[in-house]
Amino acid sequence: MAKPYRDGKGWAFRLRMRGKDVYRAGFKSEAQARRAMEVVRHELEHGPGQSGMGPQRTPLGVAFMDYARERLPFLKGARQDAQRINQYLRALSLPVIELTPVDSVKAGERIYWEVTFAEEPNRVIPASLNEHRGRQQTSSSDSDKARKRLATMMVSDVTTHHIQQLINALVAEGKKSATVHLERSELRRLFAHAANCWRWRFWGGNPAGKGLHMPSVDPGRDRVVSNEEWERLSVELAKYPNPYVAPLACLMLETAMRSCEPLVHLRWGHIQWQQRQLELPDAKAGRRLVPLGPGALHILKQLKDHAANPPQLADRVFPTTYEAVKKGWSVARAAAGVEDVGLHDLRHTSATRFALEFKGNLPVLMVITGHKTAQMAMRYVNIKATEVATMMHGEELSVEHCAAGYKRGVTAAFDAALERRAKEALEKQAKKRRVPVAEDVAPDSLFDARKRVAAVPSAVTARSNVVRVDFGRRAA
């Protein structure tokens, strides 16, 4: 009968049952090794069978292939997972993951990707990038070695110590803490899937779970656009040729939505006008309802009423691309002199504004932002210490320096852009019919512009007091 034995400074055991060889080492005492051996013996005799070759005969890189094939089709953000997993596959010269978008439902579960594996072609690197590539390889050489070692190890042999070596190498190379935590999470999910679905056993628990020394999580961005900065941005956004940049930015401020939610997922049929909310069936965290305040409803109604053609329920509310919107935001930001502000900072700004307006009512704030946990919602509330001090002294906050939208409207950019485009449409119609437009007085509003154009055909105004505007996409 097999017994534990001394192995270096610790204890180990070997078993051979049902054609399987099991070796475990690293136990602190003979008793601990004996208990583990009995658990293994019992599972081999009575427990459920393990999938595949088992952890003793499967390299970690190969296990990642099986994990990717089984899990990535159901993950909306699988592209980032595939990029991290491919680093382990390359270490074994295995085919890398290729993802093809699909949209189907099987057995009640949404499928986002078709996962295939393909040999990675040799990429030709331009001579001008050789130096840059060389610096990249040098800066990540230690983590690449640690990752390759993990990929070639049998899954059963991987311990917390081996994963800690990879973590330490990433930290030493100056990788951001978020990057380090994502790497660890990928490994943790692999071992959890192997334990739960493949019935693989890891003595001591998930080696990528507890026990690792991880860097502190970055506090995250806390940039908030002030009312004063938004006023300057509004002017430049209204000037930008792409007609969707200004209304999208305004809607994000009014709803705290992520840019992808209105830009990619939102359709006219999702807007519930009576309930004053919109339903996103496929947001980042799944289906969610977004409450619409007066400003948000104003933007959506104006977009609908002034569209060149009545929108259909399946039409996108913002038929443009993220790259085009990002370019417009960058141009407006530079022209307004507002530095270091990204589109996603509008979500921080909106969450901070509503936290002030609703006196820190966390349940209300979580409904607005769509977060599932209070911890994540609070990461987007960036109230300054000076603002808190002002409130502690019973003084009124400086509205000019508060988050954009606090006690001020944010739709001026969209209204100005709409007014200008309506005026352009009227002038174009007048020019076609050779009707002069008065130039001595500049129109102050959309309706003034219409009054100054004579004999405009009824086709231009599909309903009273509304001028249809061509929202066709222009150059970014």
* pLDDT for res 132: 57
Burial class (CB in 10 A: 0-12, 13-18, 19+), 251: buried
* Residue position matching structure tokens 């104003």: 298
Structure tokens at 421: 């485009």
Nearest 5°: phi and psi at 105?
-130, 125
Nearby residues of 197 by Cβ (< 8 Å), 6 or more positions away: 51, 70
| Cα dihedral across residues 232, 238, 239, 241: positive or negative | positive
Structure tokens at 394: 């019973």
Ordered mean pLDDT values, 10 residues apiece, the chain (476 residues): 84 80 83 83 62 83 95 92 95 92 80 91 65 64 92 92 94 92 96 92 84 85 92 90 92 94 92 94 83 94 86 92 94 92 94 94 94 91 93 93 91 78 76 60 42 37 50 49
Return the closest-CA partner of residue 427 out of 419, 416, 435: 435
DSSP for 272-333, written as a single string: ETTTTEEEEEEETTEEEEEE--HHHHHHHHHHHHTBSSPPPTTSBSS-S-HHHHHHHHHHHH
* pLDDT for res 76: 86
Q: Are 427 and 437 in contact (CB under 8 A)?
A: yes
Q: Are 465 and 449 in contact (CB under 8 A)?
A: no
Structure tokens at 3: 């017994």
Q: What distance lies between CA 265 and its chain's CA centroid?
A: 13
Superfamily of domain 227-410 in CATH is Intergrase catalytic core (1.10.443.10)
Q: What is the residue extent of each domain of the chain?
A: 5-46, 60-119+139-196, 227-410, 413-460
Kind plus residue range of the DSSP H or E element containing 102: strand 96-106
Laid out side by side, the sheet with 286-291 consists of 271-272, 277-283, 286-291
* pLDDT for res 457: 38
Nearest 5°: phi and psi at 458?
-65, -20
* pLDDT for res 446: 39
Return the closest-CA partner of residue 9 out of 24, 29, 23: 29
* pLDDT for res 125: 63
* pLDDT for res 431: 78
Q: Are 206 and 252 in contact (CB under 8 A)?
A: no
183-192 long-range Cβ contacts below 8 angstroms, 24+ apart: 183/84, 184/208, 184/212, 184/214, 186/81, 186/84, 186/85, 187/150, 187/163, 189/67, 189/71, 190/60, 190/63, 190/64, 190/67, 191/155
In DSSP terms, 21 is beta-bridged to 16
Burial class (CB in 10 A: 0-12, 13-18, 19+), 453: buried
Q: Are 178 and 45 in contact (CB under 8 A)?
A: no
Laid out side by side, the sheet with 5-7 consists of 5-7, 10-17, 20-27
Number of Cβ within a 10 Å radius of residue 424: 13
Q: What distance lies between CA 363 and its chain's CA centroid?
A: 22
Return the closest-CA partner of residue 254 out of 453, 50, 455, 411: 411
In DSSP terms, 278 is beta-bridged to 271, 290
* pLDDT for res 452: 39
| Cα dihedral across residues 72, 77, 79, 80: positive or negative | negative
* Residue position matching structure tokens 């057995």: 107
Structure tokens at 398: 């400086």
In DSSP terms, 291 is beta-bridged to 277
Return the closest-CA partner of residue 459 out of 448, 473, 470: 470
